[in-house]
Structure 1
Amino acid sequence: MEAELIRHLELLLAAYREKVDRAESTIGRFCAGDGDFFDRLRSGKGFNVRTYDRVARWFLSNWPTNASWPDDVPRPTDDASVDEAAVQEAAE
């Protein structure tokens, strides 16, 4: 299951970066509060479901209007609990 969630986050990152000119480390800082977040995922470091939910919701809240959401990734259904600090930080 963790491998599938990592794949979802990688797909979201790739699709987002196709439309938004931001470094991976910047996106990691915005969505997870960690510039090395995606590097750590690739190196086999774990994460919890709460982190996955927060990152997926960040992507949903900040998704470019000119980008299609990846078909293989379920959209978060409850975006009301998005981490407001992360959204505010991304806006700055």
Structure 2
Amino acid sequence: MELTQRLLKLTDCYCAARSISDATVSGIIFKNSRTIPRIRSGGDITTRNYSRAVEWFASNWPDDCAWPRAVERTPAQEATR
């Protein structure tokens, strides 16, 4: 699974759990509401921004939502829960 697909999987799960839009979570993570919608439309992301997003998701993941199996979670990220 490509990084963009992993990011979109996290986004889908998080947005569904919180009842928010791609643009909202994109604005929170990237300070730009168009980043995740652009990725969903075929755009790309740097590894630095991917890492920042995954770290944000790991730190803010809802307790009542399972982390997607398709996306690795490092021990450090697991410890932030």
Q: Into which bin does the TM-score normalised by the smaller protein fall?
A: 0.7 to 0.9
The correspondence of residues 41-60 of structure 1 with structure 2, limited to 5 A, is: 41-60=39-58
Q: Is the 8 A contact 1:8 1:72 kept in 2?
A: yes
Give the superposition deviation at 1:44. Answer: 2.8
Normalising by structure 1, we get a TM-score of 0.74
Q: Distance in 2 between matches of 1:78 and 1:49?
A: 18
Matched, 1:62 2:60: yes
Gapped runs of 5+ residues in structure 1?
Answer: 80-92
Offset from partner CA, 1:12-57 (integer Å, 9 cap, x none): 0111122102221110011122101112112332221110000001
Aligned to 1:38: 36
Alpha-carbon RMSD across the aligned residues, in angstroms, is 1.6
Identity of aligned residues (%): 30
Q: TM-score, normalised by structure 2?
A: 0.83
- Counterpart of 2:22 in structure 1 is 24
Greater displacement, 10-19 / 60-69: 10-19
Consecutive aligned runs of 4 or more in structure 1 exceeding 2 Å deviation: 42-46, 76-79
Count of equivalent residues? 77
